[in-house]
Structure 1
Amino acid sequence: MDRETALALEAFTTRYCDAWQRSYQTWPQSEELYGVPSPCIISSTGTMVTWQPQPFTLAENVNAIERALDIVVQPALHAFYTTQFAGDMRARFQSETFTLLQTWSPDDFRRVQENLIGHLVTQKRLKLSPTLFIGTLESDTEVISLCNLSGEVVKETLGRRQSVVLSSSLTAFLNELEPVL
């Protein structure tokens, strides 16, 4: 596993959880994850779940993607999706505010890998560079992704060659993130 990326993700998660503690005197909360089983759940009340990141308990790789498409995935992506179970976290990178995706449970990890496979198959069909999404923006047509060729983090328009490089690496990108509550 890419230890630098894992440490950068853990550091951002700590900043995010600390911001929740300072602002609301609680661990992060989510309405979207209410009722969805996860090892992260501390408590559920009304329509809200309170969560805390937990260690990842499965094999620390996304080999299902590699096997399905006969490719090698950037080590940083393996680390990104297998460092922890956690809820999605709102973040800001420079002027971009987005949702940093995480895996909530073992079932969610399998679903994320399936979605990444589907994303890569579509890109291959459209003859686009292979990218693997790590974040979503307000627009349904734009995502934050890791370029599987260069290792750069990009903001891309789905189905188009349009992309903007945000950072030279996933580690550098995660280190610059600011929590958004």
Structure 2
Amino acid sequence: MKSTNQDLADKLWHFVDSYIESYQKVHGHLPVAELDEDWPSSCQQGLFTPQEKHGEQEQQILWQPVKADGNLCFNNIESALELELHPDIKNYFTVFHSDPLDALCQEGQLSLLFAWNENDFERLQENIIGHVLMKRKLKQRITVFFAITDEEDLILSLDNETGAVWVERVGCEPHKKLADSMAEFIAGLTPHIPA
């Protein structure tokens, strides 16, 4: 069954809500990242001031995923590659800005990838182009990655033709199907919040 854009967006926001709630239960505040003044994001929610400071520390920020402004699209990639990307992958990467979100699925731990800001979205697009060109060169079916795993060369990707979610080793054909659709896959995830 193919997912609709709204169904996938709803599942993503449900996961985000669950992630933020779980993170706050474990840590008592929003997620934290290092402050990079050259890499701002609408995700930033203010400076993080830990109760105890142990020596000099990098300045940190509190953050949470925020709705993307609607300017994110893949028209340039599709034109350059002469390829229409599956609607689910376009929707996945344009619903919100976020740092990676850690999750657990039946196969183990993974990190869902998103764009932190518009510059990061451009970098993401370049990486997708590189991935698709590699697939073409190797004469493999076209997939688009959206998550990394705790195993260095294993990624999760979406089959561009069917919309199914697969595990694949970088440079190889997908080898294990995890779900028939992105919405189904996202719905089966639980947040992974280390203490």
Say yes or no: TM over 0.5: yes
Q: 1 CA distance for matches of 2:10 and 2:73?
A: 16
Contact 1:58 1:106 in 2 (8 A): no
1:140 counterpart = 2:152: yes
For 1:140, give the aligned amino acid.
E
Aligned to 2:54: none
For 1:21, give the aligned amino acid.
Q
Aligned to 1:95: 107
1:23 counterpart = 2:35: no
TM-score by length of 1: 0.93
For 1:69, give the aligned amino acid.
L
Q: CA deviation at 1:58?
A: 3.7
Question: Over the residues paired in the alignment, what is the CA RMSD in angstroms?
Answer: 1.5
For 1:114, give the aligned amino acid.
E
Secondary structure in 1 matching 2:47: strand
Change (3 A) 1:162 1:95: closer
1:62 counterpart = 2:74: yes
TM-score by length of 2: 0.86
- Structure 2: give runs of 5+ residues left out of the alignment: 49-56
Q: CA deviation at 1:61?
A: 2.7
Aligned to 2:41: 38
Aligned to 1:126: 138
Corresponding residue to 2:126 among 91, 101, 114: 114
Q: 1 CA distance for matches of 2:125 and 2:12?
A: 19
For 1:149, give the aligned amino acid.
E
Contact 2:166 2:174 in 1 (8 A): no
Aligned to 1:53: 65
Q: 1 CA distance for matches of 2:151 and 2:133?
A: 22
Q: CA deviation at 1:162?
A: 4.4
Corresponding residue to 1:12 among 15, 33, 47: 15
- Structure 1: give runs of 5+ residues left out of the alignment: none
Q: 1 CA distance for matches of 2:78 and 2:112?
A: 22
Q: Percent identity?
A: 28
Q: 2 CA distance for matches of 1:30 and 1:92?
A: 21
State the 4+ residue runs in structure 1 displaced beyond 6 angstroms: none
Q: CA deviation at 1:60?
A: 4.5
